[in-house]
Structures are given as C-alpha cells and as structure tokens.
Amino acid sequence: SQQGEEDPQALSIQEGENATMNCSYKTSINNLQWYRQNSGRGLVHLILIRSNEREKHSGRLRVTLDTSKKSSSLLITASRAADTASYFCGLAGGTSYGKLTFGQGTILTVHP
C-alpha cells in the first residue's frame, strides 16, 4: 500500500533558523496530514491539507502540496528548541482507503 517517504531522515539546525522537511508519495491522495512525535510516544496532529489545496498555514507552520509532483513540504519558521521531535506525514486515500499510512519520519533537532 501507499507510504510516504520523508526527506531528510534527520535535520539539525540552530534556534531561530527555519526547518523544511519533505514528503513524497506515489499514488493519488485525498489529503495529507503532518504529525509531530516527541520522545517516541504519541503523535500530535499538526495540520491537514486536502488534495485541492496548495498551501496552508498554522502559526509558525506552513505546509505546501504539489499533487503534480506528488510531494508536500512542512516549513517551521523561527524554530525553537521545543520543536525538537520527529515529524511524520500521513497519507489518506488512494490505495490506503480508510486509514492513514505513514513514512519513516524526519528527526528534527533544534540546538539552543
């Protein structure tokens, strides 16, 4: 079944810098969702972007979706040490009907 691929696998930046991570996929989707995971425990839903949307904002987060390239990016602006976490994209639709499928995630480390 469909699975997103996040890139890069790991990202290390300084506080105040922007962080960009990407998610690519293979088949059509209904929507794409980004989640954050701290310390290997539960995931927290950040933002959902539908297939007919190109960009969404939520606070310091900006998500873009390019369905022609089958890719999405998550931008965190003015990062903080508290943003240190793993970030996952979840794909809805296509061959994964009824559930989200997740990739391996991007590990973000923000140094104070």
**What gap in Å lies between CA 109 and CA 87, rounded to an integer?**
11
Beta pairing class for 96-102 and 10-14: unpaired
**What gap in Å lies between CA 79 and CA 111, rounded to an integer?**
9
Q: Does 85 bind another protein (CB under 8 A)?
A: no
Q: Which of 63, 65, 92, 110 binds another protein (CB under 8 A)?
A: 92
Please, what is the minimum distance in Å from the beta carbon of residue 92 to another protein? 4
Please, what is the minimum distance in Å from the beta carbon of residue 98 to another protein? 6
> Which residues, 4 to 43, sit near another protein by CB under 8 A?
30-31, 33, 35, 40-43
Quick one: CA torsion of 43, 46, 65, 8, rounded to 10 degrees?
-50
Number of residues that bind another protein (CB under 8 A): 24
Q: Which is nearer to another protein, 87 or 110 (CB)?
A: 87
Q: Which is nearer to another protein, 98 or 112 (CB)?
A: 98
Beta pairing class for 106-111 and 10-14: parallel
Residue that is written with structure tokens 């962080």 in the block? 19
Secondary structure letter of residue 53 according to DSSP = -
Residues that bind another protein (CB under 8 A): 3, 30-31, 33, 35, 40-45, 48, 88, 90, 92-93, 98-105
